[in-house]
Each structure stands twice: as structure tokens, then as C-alpha cells.
């Protein structure tokens, strides 16, 4: 859970069922850049990914203290490899597949990018549906749902109990999953600016334009999160909310209690609780 500059990880230890809570120190390297519209989205995306890796490592240490833990070098390597695989699978592969169709390769750039974006979305949905069938990943999605329910409870000024949280939805407009859906849609528009050149130029343009996609997508996510009470904003945000039906699941009360413990430990910060799971 994150509340302003305070971040905490909560884990229910398997050996005795005790909930352990530990803070994650924030890094102030990008605070100035974090105030610059569009540019801040690129660094926010990096922070989200890095924070996720740090949180996973910390949770593993708390849950399984007797097991051998991954070194910092191993964590960094995992981070880099994950980025390379993600770019390859969801940026370059859809591009190559679309480019393999002669009618698209030599046709209109907008039509090409629509087809490329459709392939990208299909591969992403296939990936999410595939991993959701894994038992461990399903538990992750349940904890993701618990996070959202507890944040909703906090934002409604209700006592943080499992009973109060249970009635709330698992879908939240500020979720990182919504950010991903926004990225996919914005990518179609931004990549269209590169036209329809030869394949190697298309690949280069996609990589160079990724920061632009991230920057625009982040600003749009911030806007929808702050103005979600407007009907037209809710309509625009619906695709990201629908996607969360795949990345969240109904949690158990035990999971909600873990989420409550994590959020409660961040209350020293006055800012509104946020979610980016």
C-alpha cells in the first residue's frame, strides 16, 4: 500500500499466521521530475516496476525467512530481463505479425496501427487469462482485489474492517491495470505518427516513442482518477475497469486483513491513499 510518500508491505507468515508489516523507504531521485507533466509518467512507470520488485523481494523475506533470497544483482537482472521480454512480446511481436500481412504492410498507416494494436491487446488478454489459471497467480489477484476493497473503504471514511471492505468492488480507477489498458490505446494513436515505413524503422520508432506513450497515458490516468465522478470520464475509463475483472478476484477475509494492516501502517502521511497494483 502507498499513502503519499509512505509505502508498506504486509505479509501473513505461513508458519504461524501472524501478519508482519514493514515499510519500504521511498527514493527521492525523481521528485522534481515528478512535478513535470508528461515527463513524470516515464519515471512513474519505472518507479512502479522497481517498487513492485522491491515489494516482492521483501514479502518473500518475511514469508520465507529460512529460504535463500535473491541477491541485488539477481533482482536487477530479473528486472532487466522482464522489461526486455515485455517489450519483445507486447511491442515488437505484434508489430512483426502485422507487418507479415502484405495488405497491411503496404497499406494505410492508421489501418496498420489498428491491426497492430488489436494483436497487442489479444496477446495481452491471452497472457492474463493464461496466468490467471495458475493457483499462485490467482492468489495474487485475490490480494489485488483486497487492496482495492480496503482503499475504497478508507476513501468512504468507513472503519477499516473486513466486513466493511467486503461490500466494495475489486475494481478501482487508479489501478495500474487501468494504466496498462490506457497504454495500449494511446500506443495506437502515438505509433500512428511514425507512418508505415520499413520494418526496422517501425521497430525503432516503437522503442523511441515508448516514453511518449507512457507520459501521455499517465496524465490521462491521473485525470480519470481525479474526475471519476463525471459520467463521461467513467465511460472513458471503462476499458481499464473491465480489464481489472481479469487481474482482480474476490479475496478472503484473511487477505483483506493483510491489506488493512498494510494501509493502516501508512496513516502517518496525510495524503489520500492510492493504488497501483
Backbone angles phi, psi at 3, to 5 degrees: -135, 100
Q: What angle do CA 228, 231, 235 make, to 5 degrees?
A: 85
pLDDT per position as a tens digit, 167-219: 999 998 878 777 788 888 899 889 988 888 999 999 999 999 999 998 898 88
142 within 8 A of 251, measured Cβ to Cβ: yes
- Whether 155 maps to a domain, the answer reads no
- Whether 157 maps to a domain, the answer reads no
- Whether 7 maps to a domain, the answer reads yes
> How many whole angstroms separate alpha carbon 17 and alpha carbon 221?
37
pLDDT per position as a tens digit, 147-169: 999 999 999 999 999 999 999 99
Q: All 3 cell numbers of residue 153?
A: 473503504
Dihedral (CA of 197, 202, 219, 36) sign: negative
> How many whole angstroms separate alpha carbon 229 and alpha carbon 219?
17
- Whether 47 maps to a domain, the answer reads yes
- Whether 38 maps to a domain, the answer reads yes
Instruction: Name the domain count of the chain.
Output: 1
State which residues form the domain around 17.
Answer: 1-69
In 3D space, the residue among 145, 137, 144 whose CA is nearest the CA of residue 166 turns out to be 145
Residue 106: pLDDT above 80? yes
- Whether 18 maps to a domain, the answer reads yes
Q: All 3 cell numbers of residue 258?
A: 493483510
- Whether 259 maps to a domain, the answer reads no
Beta-sheet pairing, 2-3 with 19-23: unpaired
Amino acid at each position: 500500500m502507498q499513502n503519499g510518500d509512505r509505502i508498506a508491505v504486509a505479509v501473513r507468515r505461513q508458519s504461524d499466521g501472524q501478519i508482519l508489516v514493514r515499510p519500504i523507504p521511498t527514493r527521492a531521485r525523481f521528485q522534481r521530475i515528478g512535478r513535470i507533466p508528461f515527463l513524470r509518467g516515464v519515471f512513474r512507470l519505472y518507479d512502479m516496476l522497481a517498487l513492485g520488485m522491491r515489494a516482492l523481494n521483501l514479502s518473500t523475506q518475511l514469508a520465507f525467512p529460512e529460504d535463500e533470497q535473491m541477491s541485488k544483482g539477481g533482482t536487477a537482472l530479473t528486472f532487466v530481463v522482464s522489461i526486455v521480454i515485455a517489450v519483445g512480446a507486447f511491442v515488437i511481436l505484434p508489430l512483426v505479425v502485422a507487418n507479415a500481412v502484405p495488405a497491411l504492410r503496404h497499406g494505410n498507416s492508421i489501418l496498420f496501427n489498428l491491426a497492430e494494436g488489436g494483436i497487442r491487446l489479444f496477446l495481452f488478454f491471452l497472457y492474463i487469462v493464461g496466468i490467471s489459471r495458475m493457483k499462485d497467480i490467482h492468489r495474487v489477484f485475490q490480494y489485488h482485489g483486497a487492496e482495492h476493497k480496503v482503499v475504497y473503504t478508507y476513501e468512504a471514511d468507513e472503519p477499516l474492517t473486513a466486513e466493511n471492505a467486503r461490500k466494495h468492488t475489486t475494481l478501482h480507477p487508479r489501478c495500474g491495470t487501468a494504466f496498462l489498458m490506457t497504454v495500449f490505446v494511446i500506443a495506437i494513436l502515438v505509433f500512428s505518427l511514425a507512418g508505415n515505413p520499413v520494418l526496422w524503422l517501425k521497430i525503432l520508432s516503437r522503442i523511441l516513442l515508448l516514453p511518449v506513450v507512457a507520459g501521455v497515458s499517465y496524465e490521462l490516468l491521473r485525470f480519470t482518477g481525479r474526475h471519476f465522478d463525471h459520467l463521461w470520464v467513467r465511460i472513458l475509463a471503462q476499458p481499464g475497469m473491465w480489464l481489472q475483472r481479469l487481474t482482480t478476484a474476490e479475496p478472503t477475509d484473511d487477505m483483506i486483513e493483510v491489506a488493512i494492516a498494510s494501509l493502516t501502517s501508512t496513516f502517518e502521511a496525510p495524503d489520500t491513499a492510492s493504488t497501483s497494483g
